[in-house]
Amino acid sequence: MKGFGKMKRRNKLTLLITISITLALFLSVQNAAAANRKELLEQFCLSNQHSSGAFLDTPTGNVEDEGLLSEFTTYANLFILAQIDSELTNLNDQGIIRSYLRDRYLQFSDVGSGIITQAYYAYFGGILLDTNFTSTMIEDATTKLFELQNDTTNGFASAEATEANIPDTYFAVKLLTTFGKINETSPTNLANFVFSTWDAENSAFASIPGGEATIIDTYYALATLSELNSLNQLNSTQIQGISDFVESYYFGDPTQSLHYGGYGIQTGITQSSLLLTYFATHILSLLDIPLHEETLTWVLSRQNPTDYGFADVSSGNAELISSAKLSYYAVSTILLYDSEAFSTSRNALMNEEIWQLETNPWAITGIVIGSIATVALIIFGIYKYRNRI
């Protein structure tokens, strides 16, 4: 009986050792293959940094393509990084970035220039880095903006545009409001221009008077009215019409698993889009219309497990490549739902751990098999030791 008692104690010891080793190996595998959303997204943005001071849209982008390296792509990356760490601790060469943004901002005021979005993203990107914009720089940009305002319609148009339009008007109004210069023009006339683009047939706003409404133009129209404190001029019929227009882009069918919760094109080749989801949710937010919780779930599902940025659903067998622009739209949408999503709290939404599928699945399989083999060898060794002659 005494020998039997020793055997039971040995079995318990063996079991305890086995469980402890198995748990330790499991945790090591888990830690090797998982990290939180915020840290991975920061890696993606930092990998977009270019020696010129600008940021790329994707780490493999062509620097000659203005769509892949611009004030907007730079602002998008900086905006995301600032949500993750307001001190931008891990961002190197900040002086070079400031110089790039300051130069792009100054170019806006040059003769023959005048791309309003260039000034907008260069300025607000610079603000994220505490760039010093002098009063002279502000005055020069203000003068240039008013040169781009149409004397008849009161809307704004960049140098490359053929006529005053809603997006350019929004960016100009936002800059003038920030500069404290909006009262140097007529806010009432600006609001009238916005309402002149109302598309009664679609119950939403177009880019120009007489144009066809889009979600993007509707957002910029409402955002402009918000800057002008004129949203209250919308009547209940218009608000309901805008809501219906936006919801016509919503993917509300759970069987469409890749798109459910997102907003996108509903005719022809249906495709949800982080861009349209951003504009749709921001429209609803401006009008105090409740958001779909499923939209947040869909946006979070678009964080790419191979490069950690956000990407739209790819078609066919196309490689899933993230974009800083799309990541900006995703992050901005997430913040609508949870302003504390990027906080340091352990329970913050973006502190959730996700699997890094970039880790070679064969490597993970090897770790698991190796762990099992190690446990088996330990058990066998203990068995041999217990039964040694």
Q: Phi, psi at residue 226, to the nearest 5°? A: -65, -45
**What would the pLDDT profile of 299-329 be if each residue is shown by its tens digit?**
999 999 899 999 998 766 567 889 999 999 9
Please give the radius of gyration of the chain, using alpha carbons only, rounded to the nearest integer.
27
User: What pLDDT is attached to residue 291?
Assistant: 98
- pTM assigned to the model: 0.83
270 pLDDT tier (thresholds 50, 70, 90): confident
**Pick the residue with more confidence: 366 or 30?**
366
DSSP string, 210-226: T----HHHHHHHHHHHH
d(CA 242, CA 247): 9
287 pLDDT tier (thresholds 50, 70, 90): very high
d(CA 336, CA 218): 18
**What would the pLDDT profile of 26-82 be if each residue is shown by its tens digit?**
444 444 456 899 999 999 999 999 999 999 999 876 666 666 889 999 999 999 999
H-only helix segments in 234-287? 236-247, 274-286
Name the amino acid, one letter, at 286: L
Name the amino acid, one letter, at 175: L
Return the minimum-mean-pLDDT range out of 49-63, 89-103, 189-203, 291-305: 49-63
Residues 6+ apart with CB under 8 A from 36: 350, 351, 352, 353, 354
Contact yes or no for 47/80 (Cβ under 8 A): no
| Strand pairing category for 34-36 and 204-205 | unpaired
d(CA 43, CA 81): 10
Residue in the block written with tokens 């005494």: 2
d(CA 389, CA 378): 19
d(CA 243, CA 253): 18
**The tokens of 276 are what?**
């349209």
Contact yes or no for 283/219 (Cβ under 8 A): yes
**Pick the residue with more confidence: 114 or 60?**
114
Judging by beta carbons within 10 Å of its beta carbon (0-12, 13-18, 19+), is residue 282 exposed, middle or buried?
buried
Q: Is 72 helix (H, G, I), strand (E, B) or coil?
A: helix
End-to-end CA distance of the chain: 20
Residues 6+ apart with CB under 8 A from 244: 203
**What would the pLDDT profile of 122-166 be if each residue is shown by its tens digit?**
999 999 999 999 999 999 999 999 999 999 999 999 999 999 999
389 pLDDT tier (thresholds 50, 70, 90): very low
CATH of region 32-360: 1.50.10.20
Mean pLDDT for all residues in the chain: 87
User: What pLDDT is attached to residue 359?
Assistant: 45
Contact yes or no for 158/168 (Cβ under 8 A): yes
Give exposure, 187-219, as e/b (b: 16+ Cβ within 10 Å).
Answer: beebbebbebbbbeebbbbbbbbeeebbbbbbb
The domain limits of the chain are 32-360, 361-388
Contact yes or no for 98/129 (Cβ under 8 A): yes
Contact yes or no for 94/88 (Cβ under 8 A): yes
111 pLDDT tier (thresholds 50, 70, 90): confident
DSSP string, 102-160: HHHHHHHTSTT---HHHHHHHHHHHHHTT----HHHHHHHHHHHHHTB-TTT--B--TT
H-only helix segments in 180-214? 187-195
Confidence check: pLDDT of 358 > 60 = no
178 pLDDT tier (thresholds 50, 70, 90): very high
